[in-house]
Structure 1
Amino acid sequence: MTTDYHSRIPLIEEEAACLAALAGDLSIPVPTCPGWTIAELITHVGQTHRWTVHVLRGRVQEPIWSRQVPSGLAEGQSGDADWLAAGASELLDTLSTTDPETVVWTWGPDKRASWWPRRMLFELVIHRADAELALGLDPVIPARTAIDGVEEFLHNLPYAAWVTRPLAQLGMEGATIHLHANDADGEWTITQGPAGKITWARGHAKGDAAVQGPVGDLLLMLYGRRPSDTLTVYGDHDLLNRWLATAAF
């Protein structure tokens, strides 16, 4: 766990620098985050960094959400590249000096500091992709990072109540979705369980629906950033799309 914790810190630094470099024209709309511009995207990411710092430095034990943490911005003001970089620097320093075994609040299953760098890495990866798509660029996610991202998404999804509640309304209990990376050693099967919660397992299996493609595209698909019809789909395409539309966060 300690190795994973510290190995993600340089990746966070890279992703934060990449996103800051994309924050030129802050007025550009972000189609994958309807209603947002680049300014609002940057503000959201920078606020999540400050939230993480607050939780880790304060050894917070009770639920607290990012909007409850001071941003350093005036009312109605949006963040910019410099503000994002300042928050990322503080985040990196905090992660580097925090014991991964420190007990703190998280919204996921792991109540230790070690949960936070992985979550912050993929918050950055996905929102960097959002900014690139807004600018007409094609996001590239290294396969090793994307595999980690798929598993981080599946690991946390059962604890995202804002997702499991609507999943429970789909009437899909027992449905299975298989993901198969064609550019890396990655296969997963997701099973929809009771109360909207999912279980998942690595390895080859048949599913009611199956999706094959580059693992970076599979990750973007899970987050609603890449349509399933841009990958190879087998089986029940409608079931897949209904599940994806509900599960993305």
Structure 2
Amino acid sequence: MSPDLDRLWHLGVESARFRAVLQDAAPDARVPTCPDWDVADLVWHLTEVQYFWAAVVRQQQTDLDRVDTENLTRPVKYRELLRLSDRCTRDLVAVLRRTPPGTPVWTWAEDQSAGFVLRRQAHEALIHRVDAECVTDERSGMDPTLAADGVDEALRVMFGGAPSWAELTVDEHAAVRVTCTDTGHAWHVSLARYAGTDEEGTDQAGGTLQIALLDPGTPTAAHVSAAAADLDCWLWGRPPPGEVNLSGDVAVLAGLREVVSAGVQ
């Protein structure tokens, strides 16, 4: 992805836009993209997430059980909740600014670094900004480079690979090319399955994706193409502002959609 992408700046900007959109929203209004939540729940979610990751990075802990987080109390008044959200964003941005990206910290992923936290939190803020705008029906543009980075993260980190204890079986004939029509980024995605016994002795199996390090340009069974913002929203189960074009083998496209739908958080 682009080395010029300033994820720290985007983290601050997207978080601020998130709150600005919801400033005058009814706290009990439902969030259409997260139907179990109302607006206050959505604000509280991002507040808690940013508070937690600021603590992880600040303490530079590599063991989750040793992360010291004081209880964060949810304000009853909505205006106080928005102010707390703002403070948590500023704290997270500040601690990430002074922490080198390669600093080891605990994460739930293979990449155990502050850089992973920065990338994940930039996209956490972006996607929840989209949620906020879906509440108020006032969608605004998404930075194409940031959105393309979000597509890469979604495919490789959120939906791709397999646990260390599992065996991965790749269907080389079930490949999809995913293309950002505005930025030129492309990914060669193969449907796969994992199976194995987890750390607790339970047999597990499921669908996943294998993403080529670089797109080899070889023919694929199906193709998904759209502007980066549309692809990012589509992968996260949010309404794309534009059109997503799907072509090719219907069964392969259904398999891709099944993996993506199961992995959306």
Give the TM-score category using the shorter length.
Answer: 0.7 to 0.9
The Cα shift of 1:4 comes to: 6.8
Looking at secondary structure, tell me which structure has more strand per residue: 2
TM-score normalized with structure 2 length: 0.78
Aligned length: 239
Q: Please name the residue that 1:129 is paired with.
A: 130
Note the aligned Cα RMSD (angstroms). Answer: 3.2
Pick closer, same or farther for the CA change 1:69–1:198 going to 2, 3 Å.
farther
The Cα shift of 1:70 comes to: 3.9
Q: Please name the residue that 2:29 is paired with.
A: 28
Return the index of the structure with the highest Cα Rg: 2
Contact preservation (8 Å) 2:178, 2:186: yes
The Cα shift of 1:144 comes to: 0.7
Q: Please name the residue that 1:58 is paired with.
A: 59
Pick closer, same or farther for the CA change 1:58–1:140 going to 2, 3 Å.
same
130-139 or 232-241, which deviates more: 232-241
How big is each residue's C-alpha offset from its partner over 1:33-60, in whole Å with a ceiling of 9 and x where there is no partner?
Answer: 1211111111111111111111111222
TM-score normalized with structure 1 length: 0.83
Q: Which residue identity does 2:43 align to in structure 1?
A: I
Runs of 5+ consecutive residues of structure 1 not aligned to the other structure: none
- Residues in 2 aligned to 1:242 and 1:185: alpha-carbon distance in whole angstroms: 25
Q: Of 229, 234, 247, which residue of structure 2 is paired with 1:216?
A: 229
Could you say what secondary structure the match of 1:39 adopts?
Answer: helix
- Residues in 1 aligned to 2:239 and 2:100: alpha-carbon distance in whole angstroms: 36
Q: Does residue 240 of structure 2 align to residue 234 of structure 1?
A: no
Contact preservation (8 Å) 1:20, 1:82: no
How big is each residue's C-alpha offset from its partner over 1:101-143, in whole Å with a ceiling of 9 and x where there is no partner?
Answer: 2211111121111111100000000010011112112342111
Could you say what secondary structure the match of 1:114 adopts?
Answer: helix
The Cα shift of 1:77 comes to: 7.7
Question: In the TM superposition, what are the counterparts of 1:114-193 in structure 2 within 5 Å?
Answer: 114-157=115-158, 158=160, 173-174=171-172, 175-193=174-192
Percentage of identical aligned residues: 25
Looking at secondary structure, tell me which structure has more helix per residue: 1
The Cα shift of 1:30 comes to: 0.9
Q: Which residue identity does 1:155 align to in structure 2?
A: R
